[in-house]
Amino acid sequence: MARKSKEAQWLETSEAEAFAHFWRLLRGLHDKRRRQGLRYPLPTVLMVALMAMVCGADDAQAMQTWGEANEDWLETFLEMPHGAPTQDVFLSVLAALDPETFQQVFVAWVGMLTWRFNGEERHFAIDGKTSRGSADPGRGVLGVHTVSAWWNQAGLVVGQVDTDRKSNEMKAIGKLLKVLDLRDATVTIDAMGTHREVAEAVHNAHGNYLLPVKDNQPTLRRDIEAAFADALDDTPRPLDQPEPLPIETHTEIEKDHGRLEERTVHLCRDLSWLTTADRWKGLQFIALVERTRTILRTGSTTTERTYYIGSSPNASAQEVAQRIRGHWGVENSLHWVLDMAFREDQARHRAGNTARNMAILRHIALNLLKSEPTQRLGIANRRKLAGWDHNYLIQVLTGPRA
């Protein structure tokens, strides 16, 4: 009888059941390295890199150190005939690995993580972030700009596309929308994503969009401003003039950090004031958000207005307010965590595809850590605990149990 490999034995254990799918996806990746003299199997290198990333290793040197410190344990279930992979091995593998293929593995695996959110509403906040450390101005190397989709309710990254410059963000958004399952989901993007092509792509994928309207859409903005000027005009009207546009209003008041903030959302489904409404596929409503902030110590008050278009036929003003606030939560829930807990802006990986693939590894590690439900710790402390306790690390890797 043929002897089973160590990883095959490991995959049959109950601890690895939820992680087995990801391992098999890794086994399917194309290895561009020459077969001659190949010392480290690709799945082993990526598995050790991910485990080390979960445990606090933010660069290739730290991954080597973590692997060497845990070598005896890793050899019990991974094929490591030459010991733990070295820093050079991690860098060469991540530089050569096709990031688009690795991204496909990530998206396919995320679907396995999200079983517990089936049936819940989905709000995908799409936003971009540049990894500053990946830039090398002296050599003309631009920093990697990653456009990510953040599932607000689940607290997970569900997709990402990388580009070498922020100016290419629109192309990245288009690619990202194609790989996401947008059925019945609401998609929010900042003003850079307010284009007819984006609205059409979301609508055609049976999703709903909620997009801010700023100076990049001047005609649409002027029309929306005029519509709400009419809708909110409470002066008496002659009998021969039409009634103001009907609107729905929701107001929230919040006191925090020495200031009082009042946020009011006005929603209007009458699009008769819009001269370009037919250009936005699936358009159902326009919205005005008024934010009034008062500094309690000084009493000074400022007010700002922003405008939105949306395609949900049933969204209320309160739901629109929740989506708008939820979109900017991506800054604290994703970008801030990547910078503070994973030190992303300090990562100086520049060769080949290393920066892009390291970004994917960080997102996988973040998803795993956020999906582990038993510890009420911040991400940085969960990483430490995983590094100290092999049982907890396996628990993080296997994800939440049914």
> Which residue in this structure is represented by tokens 């590094």?
387
Residue 147 β-bridge partners: 128, 161
Judge whether 74 and 84 are in contact, CB under 8 Å.
yes
Pairing of strands 123-130, 145-151: antiparallel
Closest CA to 37 of 81, 95, 96: 81
pLDDT by residue for the chain (402 residues), tens only, comes to 455 555 555 545 434 554 566 777 777 777 776 665 577 888 888 889 999 999 999 889 999 999 999 999 888 888 888 889 999 999 988 888 888 888 877 777 776 666 556 666 789 988 877 765 555 555 555 556 778 888 887 777 887 777 766 557 788 888 889 888 888 899 999 888 899 999 999 999 999 999 999 988 999 999 999 999 988 887 777 776 777 888 999 999 888 777 888 899 999 999 999 999 999 999 999 999 999 888 878 878 888 999 999 999 999 999 999 999 888 877 666 665 665 556 655 555 556 678 888 888 888 888 888 877 787 888 889 999 999 998 888 888 875 544
CATH architecture of 114-338: Alpha-Beta Complex (3.90)
What is the rounded CA–CA span in Å between residue 243 and residue 137?
59
Domain boundaries, the chain: 6-96+372-398, 114-338
pTM to 2 decimal places? 0.77
SS3 (DSSP) at 196: helix
Which phi and psi (to 5°) does residue 261 adopt?
-125, 125
Residue type, 2: A
Residue 129 β-bridge partners: 146
Judge whether 235 and 244 are in contact, CB under 8 Å.
no
Determine the distance from the C-alpha atom of residue 379 to the mean position of all C-alpha atoms in its chain, rounded to a whole number: 16
Closest CA to 47 of 93, 98, 113: 93
- Give, for 42, the enclosing helix (H) or strand (E): helix 42-54
